[in-house]
Amino acid sequence: MKNFLFYAFCFFLFIACTNDSDNLPCTADEEWLQDFKDQVSETCCENCACVQKIFKGNYKGRTVYYQRPAGELCDAVYFLKFYNCTGDVVKEMSQQETYDYLIEGGREDEVVFSCPETGIF
């Protein structure tokens, strides 16, 4: 009986534990985010007609970062790729998922990087 109680206690202790590392707040000064900004700068700041922005948002209760073009003529079909606070891909969205996310609140996301500050369009 003591063994049963011990194993039952261990089982309940195990299922009661959660991994909250995905729900911890993160900031825009993570090393990987600086690398992300550098990558966008190298590939787009001098060669892109549209402004490229990195946003900080919330997806299913998690802080995420993503890149997308911005501007009147630049809001075309694209697919968002969400990264968590450590730079791992959380979600690669379809066109419909991207549209739904932006309509349902993504427009309120914080811009953490913009390159260049203004685009041609």
- Angstrom distance (rounded) from CA 44 to CA 27: 24
- Angstrom distance (rounded) from CA 54 to CA 42: 14
> Domain map of the chain by residue range?
28-115
Please tell me the pTM assigned to this model. 0.70
Residue at token pair 């490229």? 52
pLDDT, residue 86, reads 87
pLDDT tens for each residue of 84-111: 988 999 999 998 998 898 888 777 899 9
Q: What's the distance, Cα to Cα, between the start and end of the chain in Å? A: 74
pLDDT, residue 66, reads 93
Distances (CA, A) of 80 to 57, 97, 100, 105: 12, 9, 11, 14
28 phi and psi, to 5 degrees? Answer: -80, 10
Mean pLDDT of successive 10-residue stretches along the chain, which has 121 residues: 46 41 57 87 72 89 88 72 91 92 84 73 43
Q: Is residue 41 a contact partner of residue 53, using CB atoms and an 8 Å limit?
A: no
pLDDT, residue 80, reads 92
